[in-house]
A and B are shown apart, each in its own frame.
Chain A
Amino acid sequence: MKFTRGEFCQFNLTTRFKLLKEFGKNILKKKIKMRLVSVYRISDFYVEVYENLASRKLEKVEPVKNIRFLEVYNNL
């Protein structure tokens, strides 16, 4: 299944998250304060997900431009 970033971003946050679950591969999951931060790889890009653990709401499901951002999580 090949998505471009642009195609991926046409969907709402809930759908993006479902698409990640169905087609993506989870490569990172970390609890940072009241957020669960996950990173998925889908097609040839990465997506950063913020879930608010208190409200159970998705706050962010966005492709990231550069995989070097992963280093940030490694250091946390």
Chain B
Amino acid sequence: MRSDNTIVEMIDQIITDGVRKGILHLYTDETALNGNVIIFKGRKVVNFGSCSYLGLEFDPRLKEAAKSAIDNYGTQFSESRAYVSINLYKELEELFCQIFDAPCVITPTTTLGHIANIPVLMSSRDAIITDQQVHNSVNTAVKLLASAGTHIEVLRHNRMDLLNERIKSLREKHKRIWYLADGIYSMFGDTAPVDEIYRLLDIYPEFFFYVDDAHGMSIHGKNGRGSVLDKRRFHPKMVMATSLAKAFATGGAVMVYPNKEMARKVRTCGGPLITSGPLQPSQLGAAVAAAKIHLTTEIDVMQEELSERIKFTNMMLKKYRLPVIAENNSAVFFIGVHLPKVGYNMVRRMLDAGYYVNLGIFPAVPMKNTGIRFTITRLHTFSQIEQMIGTMAEELPKALKEEGVSYEDIYKAFKMPVPEQDSIDKGVASVISQALSLKLYHYKSIHDVKEKEWNELFANKGTFDWNGLQLLENSFQHNELPENNWEFDYVIIKNLITGRPVVAGFLTTALWKDDMLSPAFVSENVEIKRSNDPYYFTSKVISTGSLLTEGEHLFIDRSSPLWKDAMQLFFYRVNLLQEKYNTNSIVLRDFQHVDEEFESFLIDNGFFKTPMPDNNIVNDLSWNNAEEFYHGLSKNSKIHFKKNIRRYTAKYEVSIEQDPVEENIDRWYALYENVKNNSLELNTFTLPKKLFNNIANDPSWEILSLKLTSPDGNSLDKKTVCVVFSYIAGDNYIPMIIGMDYSYNKEYKVYRQALYQVVMRAKMLGKKKVHLGFSATVEKKKLGAIIFPTYAFMQIRDSYNAEALSAISLARQAK
């Protein structure tokens, strides 16, 4: 359901929400900084968000060198480095060659370094494998290569077994295979398994390693050369990028190469080294001073001081039993809090208590893996660290209680075992329900739900009234193939005082193709692999509604003051079901009117909004006959209608099928399979034939067929060229499945005729609306359909498949 634009939309929703809550896009008050205390809105807070891990930014030698460089060279030397650079650059590059004992090139930022490196070092004959959690700046540069046709794929985070397999598979077709990773990952602070990567570099001559060690620079290794090179040689098939804007405490970045030729080529051909501006003299001056410190034993003392603080922090985190996501030796720590709403709550609480910590939220981490990210620097005192962690331990239970989340939820979201002492607080939902007189009813079959009660809520909403669900249950259970066996769950949450439902809906759990809503070319690519592995890129999904229903699946009484509490109970139950069925995603779908309050509520609870295909509904059937219908169309639609529909109408015999014998059902099913196999726009599994048998024998459904007639009025070969399976519910006519013989479509415009005949049939039955469903919007609009933008809210546990599909899409679009 995601494209690049929807990702931008998602980021916008979440970040804007954080800005609105006053915890993102902050500015400090003070005009001068001299330590780790900053001021926000008049309140002093200890900064636990700085990446200047060694606190060198306040070292008088760096400050003096920056000032002196300005005195000597001015505030900027504004010439491209392709022409001329000030001699501080030369001095600095020489110092870095000593630090790394390898050729180096300095770039204005690490991002620009990647943009200089990657298109120069990697070619269309290479294959690129990016780690799932590699820094976004690396991916930004990789996107530039997509247009060259370079093979790009994503590897599950740190999975060296899979990397080994992929190298074996790709080495036949590609000149080189590059694995792109971080030395220390910026969110959880965990590290790349460098020893294992080096082992693979030694085994496979085609295998190369590109690593961004921004968070390892200065704090690890001899002369502060970073975590990757800590007690390791520089591998001859490795390229390293590292930042000077973190522990090095200046600005810019250093690219390190295994040989002079590689460095020369990037220095000569790397885009930003030709066209981007250089580092400012002040930055170069400070960097020279910092590099000189790195070349003395003083850096060892600083590293040791930081290392002791990191050790102390790990000890305190254990003592206070906080849910730490990865225990490691880096200066980055991540405390899981599960949902964004708990993250916002905690950051606010920590600010109020005098500590600034970062919110680790989407897109940096999946929505349900929100957390508090904090960093430790050499400037922190031990008591600051202890007090901050103590405060966090005191505030977290309060925030969890306030937001209706338990410790158990956190550990489950991060797929971590729940410590015995923390498996408490399971009763959050029962506390809410008792306190607020809400009661949740959960059923496994529509037969257990009172027909009248269900239909009062859903009779006019789509194909999921009581009868419609009975048919779905009969069709999607006890089948041979896993994709045709769905779990059904019905949830009704009632206000016990009024006796009225506040939230109600049904959920199905089924196997979905992950590329269901990807562009057709992506599905084409994936389907090739599915010929050998039918369940490649498929995941279990729990969703409101089902793959065969459309419409407002979730009833929410927004006039009730308890609707948000009822929704919390609903989420709680859905989360339990997610655990029970082990699904990767939760999808709440088919929302047409989403206001700011509702959207913000769902984001706080870990969902992101994503557009679904537009829904098309003909909701004006007030005309009396075909001629009046025609006159109601727009000018262009009239032209289309005359040319593509009316001209062929007489050639068709339209009837409602009354004879559901096996032979006919086989033919209709074959027509459906034609459509299924012809369209990858909405790529689903093939529906089971049992469904068609059930539909054919269900009085709530009807089958409209189109047969082509010869000029003498006889049916052409007595062949049905199209069938439409429609559900009739209240005032609605809902065509759900179509089958077609494409060999006649071009000549007789079968699809267009079918749409028209469906509208006519609805009118004949006295219906008020025709739900034409998703896709083919242009065709449907020409028949008077109104387009209703439709949205889903999703939670994804593991976004690996979505990222891998996105990589396929990117590569194809670039071509």
Interface residues of A (CB under 8 A from B): 1-2, 7, 10-12, 14-15, 18-19, 22-23
Min distance, Cβ B215 to any Cβ of chain A, angstroms? 22
- A12 engages B308 (CB within 8 Å): yes
**Residues in B whose Cβ lies below 8 Å from that of A23:** 382-383, 386
Q: Can you name the residue of chain A whose Cβ is closest to the Cβ of B319?
A: A2
**Is B304 in the interface zone, CB < 8 Å from A?**
yes
Indicate the size class of the contact surface on chain B. Answer: 10 to 19
**Is B496 in the interface zone, CB < 8 Å from A?**
no
**Is B315 in the interface zone, CB < 8 Å from A?**
yes
**Residues in A whose Cβ lies below 8 Å from that of B382:** 15, 18-19, 22-23
| Interchain CA distance A22-B315 in the complex, whole Å | 16
**Residues in B whose Cβ lies below 8 Å from that of A11:** 308, 311-312
**Is B381 in the interface zone, CB < 8 Å from A?**
yes
Partner of B315, one of A7, A12, A14: A7
20 residue pairs A–B, Cβ–Cβ below 8 Å: A1-B386, A7-B315, A10-B311, A11-B308, A11-B312, A12-B304, A14-B305, A14-B308, A15-B305, A15-B308, A15-B382, A18-B381, A18-B382, A19-B312, A22-B381, A22-B382, A22-B383, A23-B382, A23-B383, A23-B386
B364-382 toward A: CB 8 Å interface, digit per residue (1/0)? 0000000000000000011
- A15 engages B312 (CB within 8 Å): yes
| Interchain CA distance A14-B307 in the complex, whole Å | 12
Among B305, B319, B382, find the residue whose CB has the most chain A CB atoms closer than 10 A: B382
Main secondary structure of the interface of B (DSSP, over half): helix
Interface residues of B (CB under 8 A from A): 304-305, 308, 311-312, 315, 319, 381-383, 386
Min distance, Cβ B706 to any Cβ of chain A, angstroms? 80
Min distance, Cβ B711 to any Cβ of chain A, angstroms? 96
**Residues in B whose Cβ lies below 8 Å from that of A15:** 305, 308, 312, 382
| Interchain CA distance A22-B316 in the complex, whole Å | 15
List 10 additional contacts besides A2-B319, A10-B311; criterion CB under 8 Å: A1-B383, A7-B315, A10-B315, A12-B304, A15-B312, A18-B382, A19-B382, A22-B382, A23-B383, A23-B386
**Residues in B whose Cβ lies below 8 Å from that of A10:** 311, 315
| Interchain CA distance A50-B446 in the complex, whole Å | 79
Min distance, Cβ A15 to any Cβ of chain B, angstroms? 4
Q: Can you name the residue of chain B whose Cβ is closest to the Cβ of A10?
A: B311
**Residues in A whose Cβ lies below 8 Å from that of B319:** 2
**Residues in A whose Cβ lies below 8 Å from that of B312:** 11, 15, 19
| Interchain CA distance A14-B301 in the complex, whole Å | 11
| 6 cross-chain pairs, A with B, having the tightest CB-CB distances, nearest first | A15-B308, A22-B383, A22-B382, A1-B386, A19-B382, A11-B308
| Interchain CA distance A23-B305 in the complex, whole Å | 17
| Interchain CA distance A10-B315 in the complex, whole Å | 10
Min distance, Cβ B36 to any Cβ of chain A, angstroms? 15
| Interchain CA distance A23-B319 in the complex, whole Å | 16
| Interchain CA distance A32-B280 in the complex, whole Å | 55
